[in-house]
Amino acid sequence: MKSVKKHLNAKMKDVGFKEHYKLDLVKLQFIKPIIAYRIKHKLNQTALAKRVRISQQQISKIENGDFSSFDAVIKVLFAIGIEITKVQTQEKANSRKHISSKNSSLSHR
């Protein structure tokens, strides 16, 4: 495990890697409750997709971190009783906006 942490710390020195890593952590906050819901309710992706009225392929993409349709992500979260309670953006020095995983939160309704 120490070698993984050491490797990660070395990779974090690369600004591009660090930004992608942080984005993946934010995405996980959206993905985990969807997968947990499916497991808890013994649903496959097709069954969840039918409940949400989107395609199984969209569920698969969401669960794999492809958020090309963020509307679909929100639709799934809403359908399973999860709401986004806070998303905070911060202006970076290079004027690109990002979402801080520390400031994002999801909650059950």
By CB neighbour count within 10 A (0-12 exposed, 13-18 middle, 19+ buried), where does 79 fall? middle
2-108 CATH = 1.10.260.40
CA dihedral 52, 55, 56, 57 (to 10 degrees): -140
What residue type is 29 in one-letter code?
A: Q
Give the mean pLDDT of the chain.
84
- According to DSSP, residue 97 is labeled E
pTM for this model (two decimals): 0.72
- Residue with token string 């986004």: 84
Residue bearing the bigger pLDDT, 8 or 83:
8
- According to DSSP, residue 11 is labeled H
pLDDT digits (tens, 9 = 90+) for 2-33: 799 999 999 999 999 999 999 999 899 999 99
* CA pair distance 94, 19, nearest whole angstrom: 13
Lowest mean pLDDT segment, chosen from 18-32, 38-52, 88-102: 88-102
* CA pair distance 48, 92, nearest whole angstrom: 37
Per-residue confidence (pLDDT) for residue 95, from 0 to 100 = 45
- Helical (H) or strand (E) element with 17: helix 15-40
CB 52 within 8 A of CB 46: no
Three-state DSSP at 44 gives coil
Per-residue confidence (pLDDT) for residue 105, from 0 to 100 = 56
